[in-house]
Structure formats: C-alpha cells, structure tokens
C-alpha cells in the first residue's frame, strides 16, 4: 500500500467541509513568502466541538487508510495539541486505542516538570499538525521525539499547499527529504483545483487557483 496515496472522495469531502465552514476562503491573501494567494486555509477556524470532531475523523481515516505503522500520536504546540487529542479520540471510536502526547513551548519547572505532557514517547511516533509552512514545527518535533529515544514515523497534515519554497521543493518535500519521513495529507492543492472545477458557485476561482499552482507549484 502506498501511504502517500490520497482517497479522492475523502479529499473532496474534506474540501467541501472546509469551504462550508469558511476555513478555506477565496480572494486575495498575502502569504509569508510575500506572494498573493487566491485562497487561504486557516485550520484555527475549526473551533466548534462538532467541527473539530469531524476534522479529527478525517485525520483518523487518513491514518488508517495509509497503513502506516505507529505507536503514539504527537501534537506539537500549539495547534497540534487539540489535533492529536481529537485524533486519538477519533481513532478510539474506530477500534484503535492510541496514546498521545504533546509538548509545552516552555519547560515546566514545578510538578512533573519538563516539556512533554501525556503518554511517554516510545516506539514509532506519528506527528499530527495542520499544515507545513517552513517546517519549523516538524523539525522541533523530530528533535523532541529523538531526544526521548523514540522514532518519528511520519507526519500527518490537513492540507498540502504543494507550493515551492525558496528552491524547487515544497515545504512538504523538504521535510520528506531532510528527515526521510512520509508526509500524509488529507487533501492537496491539486484536489482543491479538482473540487473547484465541479462547483458552479466557485468556478470563478478556478482559473486563479490553477494559475497560482502553475506559477508557484512544486513538482
């Protein structure tokens, strides 16, 4: 089984869900790289209980479908924390009782101390995050996991923008190359373009998003 293969119906359902909640928006947005993007994805807007539960169901389904082997989920602070906890709950409903852990931004100097909260990091650790921009969160997570004596298994994100960084590779490709880790996504920019082509109320954005992909997309 190819862990990176994406279920088309699941990716389309996820994109429809994100559009419905306004998590995926269209217009003109300036990225960190200074580019004008015709779309914007803000996972922080999954802030209702029902929305977070459904989002984490998508994560759980993607993880199971990948066939990836892992022992524990890790959510990097801050956005990864509710994602890891929610995905652990979603997996438990599907019959996979999975432990999870997360880190603090600053080490606690009282009580149990340290930067880690939750289950001990052991075995193969699956990192759960929203997107990969510069790869900083993944790099910090990999360091924490290895320092604990565990092994990073893969990274799971919601949306892969498939956009080049300063070089020819995307942020996701750079992570895969630098750490030898698979990055699984629920959906990619190419899935978004496919979705827009079949939605009459959104076809006005199809050309702009397609052109952006042609201009800044990675291979």
Reported as a single tens digit per residue, the pLDDT across 128-172 is: 999 998 788 899 999 999 999 999 999 999 999 999 987 899 999
* 41-76 residue pLDDT tens: 999 999 999 999 999 999 999 999 999 999 999 999
Instruction: Name 135's Cβ contacts closer than 8 Å, sequence gap at least 6.
Output: 171, 174, 175, 178
Please report the pLDDT score of residue 166 as a whole number: 76
Q: What CA–CA distance (Å, rounded) separates 163 from 115?
A: 32
Mean pLDDT of the chain: 92
Q: Give the residue-averaged pLDDT of 77-102.
A: 97
pLDDT of residue 16: 97
Span 8-51, pLDDT tens digits? 899 999 999 999 999 999 999 998 888 999 999 999 999 999 99
User: Which one is predicted more confidently, 144 or 3?
Assistant: 144
Per-residue confidence (pLDDT) for residue 1, from 0 to 100: 46
**Strand locations in the chain, DSSP E?**
24-30, 36-41, 72-75, 100-108, 114-118, 124-128, 151-160, 182-188
Average pLDDT over residues 104-108: 72
Could you tell me whether strands 36-41 and 24-30 are parallel, antiparallel, or unpaired per DSSP bridges? Answer: antiparallel
Annotated catalytic residue, options 30, 32, 79, 110 = 110
Active site residue 108: yes
Which of 30, 32, 105, 108 does the annotation list as catalytic? 108
Q: What is the mean pLDDT of residues 104-129?
A: 82
Structure-model confidence comparison of residues 167 and 204, the more confident one = 204
Q: Sketch out the chain's domains with CATH numbers.
A: 8-216 (3.40.50.2020)
Residue 7 pLDDT: 83
pLDDT at 32: 80
Whether residue 178 is predicted with pLDDT greater than 50 in this model: the reply is yes
């Amino acid at each position: 089984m190819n862990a990176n293969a994406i279920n088309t119906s699941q990716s389309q359902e996820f994109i429809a869900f994100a559009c419905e909640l306004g998590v995926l928006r269209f217009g003109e947005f300036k990225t960190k790289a200074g580019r004008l993007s015709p779309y914007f994805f803000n996972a922080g807007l999954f802030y209702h209980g029902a929305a977070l539960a459904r989002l984490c169901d998508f994560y759980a389904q993607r993880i199971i479908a990948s066939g990836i082997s892992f022992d524990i989920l890790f959510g990097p602070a801050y956005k990864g924390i509710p994602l890891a906890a929610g995905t652990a709950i979603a997996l438990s409903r599907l019959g996979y009782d999975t432990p999870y852990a997360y880190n603090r931004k600053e080490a606690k100097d009282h009580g149990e101390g340290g930067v880690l909260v939750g289950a001990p990091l052991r075995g193969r650790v699956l990192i759960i995050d929203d997107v990969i921009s510069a790869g900083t969160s993944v790099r910090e997570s990999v360091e924490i996991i290895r320092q604990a004596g565990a092994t990073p298994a893969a990274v799971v994100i919601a949306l892969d923008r498939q956009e080049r960084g300063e070089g020819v590779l995307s942020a996701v490709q750079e992570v895969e190359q630098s750490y030898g880790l698979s990055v699984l996504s629920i959906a990619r920019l190419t899935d978004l373009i496919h979705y827009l082509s079949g939605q009459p109320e959104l076809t006005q954005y199809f050309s702009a998003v397609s052109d952006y992909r042609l201009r800044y997309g990675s291979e």
